[in-house]
Structure 1
Amino acid sequence: MRDWRLWLVPSALVIVLDQLTKHWIVQAFSFGESSPVTSYFNLVLAHNSGAAFSFLAAAGGWQRLFFITVAALASAVILHLLRKHGRQTLFGLALSLVLGGALGNLVDRIHWGYVVDFLDFYYGNYHWPAFNVADMAITGGVILLVWDSLRKPGAGKP
């Protein structure tokens, strides 16, 4: 992309879609309420005060400021990388997805003190930890970053 700032468009789209879906679920569900959609998927209103898979969720409250700081620093690094490598299409898209996801969850942490999760996939009695649109963007962005690094000449060589 000629101008690195164009990578902010996919990030903004992720943030808007993430916040709209979270707003809808908060309006439609009570905390802990679940509604089956298929035999392996529920919509549920869950609060995650920790990180991925509720890591540090029960840490006593200090983790809120910690995760806000981490998200802000990661966003600054991503913006720097986009400015420096914005012409690399796959790399730029990957970073823009991660940035949008990080900022979508950052909005929740600042506003609510936790992240709103609502997608619950399961098999039998095993439930994957609930997640949201921002989490999907982060995961997709990381997958694209790995793919991009493996496509480059000399990838995996010491």
Structure 2
Amino acid sequence: MLVIFLAALGALIADQASKYLVVHMMGLSQIGSMDILPPVLNFRYGENRGINFGLLDSDAELARWLLIGFSVVISVAVVWWLRHRRHGIMMRISAGLLVGGALGNVADRLLYGYVLDFLNMSCCGIANPFVFNLADVFIFAGALGLILFDGGKGRKKAA
């Protein structure tokens, strides 16, 4: 459980620190965009009231609280699932990244009413119109890790 907690805490802190630095300290919320290493890495200010890529976007308070609740339920379920099974360290780190990312976006919804997004990446002649944040990266990496590192080897703990 300690590995899950530390990975989640690290992801949460990295996500919130990056948002504070880029959006508030660098003033992205006022200027709207910054080209860092164009076209590969750009900062574009975004307020996401939905889920990934703005799906289910809504200004309704009910939607905000439903998304907060959904994120918390998923986080608890992932921790509960791994707590009751034996898994390797990569599975536990992956779970922590997923949970930390989800809680990073929950923190945004609680603080601002929406998720702060600022990363925009394009490559190879494809102009990506979407913005995301480190929490989204951690959620994706964590979910992918849970799939890749499971291998069906999880066993129930001995009673």
Normalised by the size of structure 1, how large is the TM-score? 0.84
Structure 1, unaligned runs of 5 or more: 154-158
Identity within the alignment, %: 26
Query: Secondary structure at 1:36's aligned position in 2?
Result: strand
For the 8 Å contact 2:48–2:54, the answer to whether it is kept is yes
Structure 2, unaligned runs of 5 or more: 154-159
* RMSD, aligned CA: 2.0
2:86 maps to 1:108 = no
2:18 maps to 1:17 = no
Which of 80-89 and 126-135 deviates more? 80-89
1:117 and 1:62 map into 2 onto residues whose CA distance is: 21
For the 8 Å contact 1:25–1:45, the answer to whether it is kept is no
Query: Secondary structure at 1:126's aligned position in 2?
Result: coil
- For 1:138, the equivalent position in structure 2 comes to 139
Which of 84-93 and 101-110 deviates more? 84-93
Counting matched residue pairs gives 149
Normalised by the size of structure 2, how large is the TM-score? 0.84
Which of 78-87 and 104-113 deviates more? 78-87
Which of 102-111 and 20-29 deviates more? 20-29
Query: Secondary structure at 2:131's aligned position in 1?
Result: coil
2:129 and 2:89 map into 1 onto residues whose CA distance is: 32
The letter of the residue matching 1:96 is G
